[in-house]
Amino acid sequence: MIMVEVLSILAIATKELRQGQTKKYLKKLIRRTEIEDGLKRLDKLMQEEARMATAQVLKATHTVDDRVREVTDKVIGVDNRLAGVDDRVAGVDNRVAGIDDRVAGIDDRIAGVDNRVKTVDDKVAAVIDGA
């Protein structure tokens, strides 16, 4: 639309130049409002174009803002889930520590049994040697 107005203004100016001398053209140009009207229409179209572009940028900005909010909500959800997982891992860690303590106790008992078996083995060897 803007280009149409620019071409229209150029066409009027070219037509006037072809019809006579430059002096005549300037006199007509001062008296005629066609070019002036065309320039006003061009200015109005350019202002409208600028408003439309601004509206499109605003719409795109709102769309981006909405998507960022959605992502933020999802990140908060993930963070909450991770906090739950962290609590569960801490519980598992406590249970593993308890199992470790029990295994250490069993290890001590096995060492005691091993010592007794060795003592019995020594006695059996003494009986066999003394027999």
Contact between 34 and 56 (Cβ < 8 Å): no
- Examine the pLDDT at 73 and tell me if it is beyond 90: yes
Contact between 30 and 70 (Cβ < 8 Å): no
Contact between 2 and 49 (Cβ < 8 Å): yes
Mind listing the pLDDT tens digit for each residue in 22-56? 666 666 666 666 767 777 888 898 899 999 999 99
Is 62 exposed, middle or buried, given 0-12, 13-18 or 19+ CB atoms closer than 10 A? exposed
Could you give the angle at the alpha carbon of 116 between the alpha carbons of 115 and 118, nearest 5°?
Answer: 65
Confidence (pLDDT) at 17: 65
* Gyration radius (Cα) of the chain, Å: 48
Mind listing the pLDDT tens digit for each residue in 77-129? 999 998 888 888 888 888 888 888 888 888 888 888 888 888 888 888 888 88
pTM metric for this prediction:
0.44
Residue labelled with tokens 């007509």: 28
